[in-house]
Amino acid sequence: MAAVLIALSVVTSSVHALTINLNAGATLTANPAALAAFNRAANQWSSQIADPITVTIDANLASLGAGVIGQASSVILQANYNNVRNSMVADSAGEADDGIVAALPTAAQFSAFLPTGFSLGGNLSASKANLKALGFAGLDAGFGTTDATITFSSNFSFDFDSSNGVSAGLVDFETAAAHEIGHALGFISIVDVIDAAVSNGQTFVVAPRTLDLFRFGAGVNPSNPANFTTTARNFVPGNAAILDDLSSELAFSTGASNGDGRQASHWKDNSLTGTLVGVMDPTLATGAFVPVGANDLRALDLIGYDITVVPVPATLYLFASGLMGLVGIARKRAV
Ligand SMILES: [Zn+2]
């Protein structure tokens, strides 16, 4: 049964599928095990996303500073709030599980809790890859083909092959790469920019990220589509925050400087809660493989990706759940 379903997904992906074009630099190319792991990480996302777009990621290994595992940057663009919001609504229209997206507030309905001195300015922002998934055209021509640049440290000891388990004390490279690709696809929050500005005594006019449209205070969150539209989103670093789509509430991190010590563009750290929400956890356990999971995919589903339902083999479930106990006690590093 599972084999039949997997075969179907392959047929689908040959017609409509996300292509992640890894533009590997010389040092990464010269390390076949690392390149293979990077490609497996990309495939974890692309095999489960049906949008017929190409996302280009410049990827490499390089000598980075002591203690730095890797660094990543995405091309982030902004546009008129209603332009992006209406694209999200249109993109989700054919997806039975995405009815809540139609209840996203219009610009006139939108409000948010912000630190003193910050204001909303009528724009939304998103990664270029995310805007492609929403159907915006001409982005590569206008802003260059690169959607994100991801560089991992060549000085750091990774386990490049988790097929025989991840060695104790080592970070799994595929897990780290999948995490960074998640940011590139659009798992980002403006709260990190606000957090840094607060620490520098600065303020700015805020263009929330698409994912921020689902970010509510843990204590002030919606319970039906009508108040999903009208409830203020929460972009205050340090305020307990959740992704709320009315079917689930998933905790976010609240800020590196003025929050829980983790960048807000992540799920809440399982080392603080005991619950691993997904690969977009802010820190990486050593000795563990963490797959792209249902919650990670749900976040991308809400911001405009079309998710292909691929059954997870029972053996992988067992493998993943068997790791859960280890994650909480393993040494963790920020990603
Ligand atoms: Zn991260």
Residue 9 has pLDDT above 80, yes or no: no
Q: Among 14, 20, 40, 17, which Cα is nearest to 129's?
A: 20
- Range 49-78 average pLDDT: 93
For ion ligand 1, residues whose CB falls within 5 Å: 335
Residue 12 has pLDDT above 60, yes or no: no
- Range 192-212 average pLDDT: 98
Q: What is the pLDDT of residues 306-333, one digit of tens each?
A: 998 655 444 444 333 333 323 333 345 5
Q: What is the pLDDT of residues 112-134, one digit of tens each?
A: 999 999 999 999 999 999 999 99
Determine the 3-state secondary structure of 243 from DSSP. strand
pLDDT of residue 310: 53
pLDDT of residue 332: 52
pLDDT of residue 22: 97
pLDDT of residue 45: 97
Measured in Å, residue 29 CA sits from the centre of ligand 1 at 24
Q: Is 107 exposed, middle or buried (0-12, 13-18, 19+ CB in 10 A)?
A: middle
- Range 278-287 average pLDDT: 93
Measured in Å, residue 280 CA sits from the centre of ligand 1 at 6
Measured in Å, residue 282 CA sits from the centre of ligand 1 at 5
Residue 183 has pLDDT above 90, yes or no: yes
Q: What is the pLDDT of residues 94-103, one digit of tens each?
A: 888 899 999 9
123, containing H or E segment: strand 123-127
**Domain definitions of the chain by residue range:** 2-334
Question: What's the chain's average pLDDT?
Answer: 89
Report helix, strand and coil shares of the chain as percent, to nearest 5. Answer: 35, 25, 40
pLDDT of residue 65: 85
Q: What is the pTM of this model?
A: 0.88
Measured in Å, residue 183 CA sits from the centre of ligand 1 at 7
pLDDT of residue 52: 95
User: 148 pLDDT band (50/70/90 cuts)?
Assistant: very high
C-alpha distances out from residue 178 to 83, 234, 290, Å: 29, 27, 9
The CA-to-CA distance between both ends of the chain, in Å, stands at 37
**Residue corresponding to tokens 């949008």:** 51
Pairing status of strand 123-127 against strand 249-252: unpaired
**Residue corresponding to tokens 């047929």:** 11
pLDDT of residue 315: 43
DSSP 274: S
